[in-house]
Structure 1
Amino acid sequence: MEIYIIRHTTPDIEKGICYGQTDLGLVDTFSEEFKTIKQQIPNNRDYLIKSSPLKRCALLANHLGSHVLFDDRLKELDFGDWEMKPWNTIPEETLNPWMKDFVNTTVPNGESYIDLASRINNFFEEIYHLHDDKNLIIVTHAGPMRAYLASVLNIPLEKSFNIKIQYGDVFHLRKEKDELKLISEIEST
């Protein structure tokens, strides 16, 4: 089983805005970013493609194959009341507790990072049981990717943001004899 986990390409939003599950489009460099991604995935295999249903992932997934299965568990963190607000305008009395413990603290009317990690790990457990004979492409967001890679690498969730993930990054994993191995190099801070 070969698995390619891909972060969506560059979203069309100005820097400094809090977005998670907001359904954003992509910037006009998508074609160039897509070519770079496509070069990292062998095209001599059939893939089952699963994707976050958000536009920034769905567009990429649909370019990778004609039959895509969408799964809400692959969505980015739900930032609730903070969605589409500039980070510097979020009141300190709600932002500071989250910044001190973003793993366990729930965003107002959103979710916590531990909630995200739970749903993404549940997704992968299901994938391994239902599709262990297939090669997979999974198109998602940085939050779910970090949470899942943290579990693969035995990194505590609070340290998972040390894993660098850029727009359009591709991580290759291989499952052999019930053991999952990360093939890609991980850059961390």
Structure 2
Amino acid sequence: MEIYLIRHTTPDIVKGLCYGQTDLDVIDTFFQEVEQIKPHLPATITTVYSSPLQRCSKLANVLFPTHTITYHAHLQEINCGDWEMQHWDEIPKQALQPFLADFVNVAMPSGESYIDLYNRVTACFNQITKQPKPIAIVAHGGVIRSILSHITNTPLIEAFNVFKLYYGCVVKIMTDNNEGLTYQILHNVLPLQPEQHKPSVL
């Protein structure tokens, strides 16, 4: 069992904007980030899956130019609904409070909760694991955290603290000695500017 989870490179987005399924492009360091990712991927990868959003599809096409890439909607980032492309600090506090109090179970207006994301991602992942290996999955931070939470039985509420995953990270999933699944972070570079996925003041 070898599955490589690859997070997209740095998106072209102003810090503090709420984005999930908005189809963002990537910044001009893309090819530099790609070169940092490549050494951590084996030449033997057989099967490639990707989120259809361009920040992932661009990376998948550059990393695997000779492969047939399967794009799957269930590998998209969380749907932020009415909050897509709003600045976190400008969303009314009364609207934010229920979600911030229980983001695992409470959905963003017209969007998803973390458990919604987790359920669709893990259903997709369980199907992907049946395909020829090694496998690469090019996806988003929320998607990769959902998969790692799934294989390690980590409570979703702890996922952001347990799994520090930066743009362009590469995580290898493999079989452990008990025939379960474990993971190893192969590449994970701290960005110069930290990401912001919640209000700056709570």
TM bucket normalised to smaller: over 0.9
TM superposition shift of 1:182:
1.2
Could you say which residue in structure 1 is the equivalent of 2:97? 96
TM superposition shift of 1:186:
10
Distance 1:18 1:109 in 2: 14
Describe the shift of the 1:186–1:152 C-alpha distance in structure 2 as closer, same or farther (beyond 3 A): farther
Do the aligned residues in 1 keep the contact of 2:45 with 2:136 (CA within 8 Å)? no
Could you say which residue in structure 2 is the equivalent of 1:9? 9
Could you say which residue in structure 1 is the equivalent of 2:35? 35
Could you say which residue in structure 2 is the equivalent of 1:81? 82
Could you say which residue in structure 1 is the equivalent of 2:49? 50
Distance 1:47 1:185 in 2: 19
1:74-99 deviation line (CA, Å, top 9, x unaligned): 00000000000010111111111100
Could you say which residue in structure 1 is the equivalent of 2:196? none
Could you say which residue in structure 2 is the equivalent of 1:175? 175
Could you say which residue in structure 1 is the equivalent of 2:126? 125
Do the aligned residues in 2 keep the contact of 1:2 with 1:135 (CA within 8 Å)? yes
Structure 1 unpaired stretches of 5+: none
Following superposition, which runs of at least 4 residues in structure 1 exceed 4 angstroms of deviation? none
Do the aligned residues in 2 keep the contact of 1:12 with 1:27 (CA within 8 Å)? yes
Structure 2 unpaired stretches of 5+: 189-202
Do the aligned residues in 1 keep the contact of 2:169 with 2:186 (CA within 8 Å)? no
Describe the shift of the 1:105–1:186 C-alpha distance in structure 2 as closer, same or farther (beyond 3 A): farther
TM superposition shift of 1:2:
1.0
Distance 1:50 1:140 in 2: 8
Do the aligned residues in 2 keep the contact of 1:164 with 1:186 (CA within 8 Å)? no
Q: State the Cα RMSD in Å.
A: 1.7
TM-score (norm 2): 0.86
TM superposition shift of 1:46:
3.4
Describe the shift of the 1:186–1:137 C-alpha distance in structure 2 as closer, same or farther (beyond 3 A): closer
Pair 1:18 & 2:18 matched:
yes
TM superposition shift of 1:178:
4.9
Give the secondary structure class of the aligned counterpart of 1:34: helix
* Letter in structure 1 aligned against 2:94: E
1:35-74 deviation line (CA, Å, top 9, x unaligned): 011111122x132110000000000001121321100010
TM superposition shift of 1:185:
7.0
Distance 2:99 2:143 in 1: 18
Distance 2:57 2:119 in 1: 22
Distance 1:178 1:123 in 2: 21
Distance 2:125 2:6 in 1: 14
TM superposition shift of 1:128:
2.1
Could you say which residue in structure 1 is the equivalent of 2:106? 105
Do the aligned residues in 1 keep the contact of 2:48 with 2:135 (CA within 8 Å)? yes
Describe the shift of the 1:100–1:53 C-alpha distance in structure 2 as closer, same or farther (beyond 3 A): same
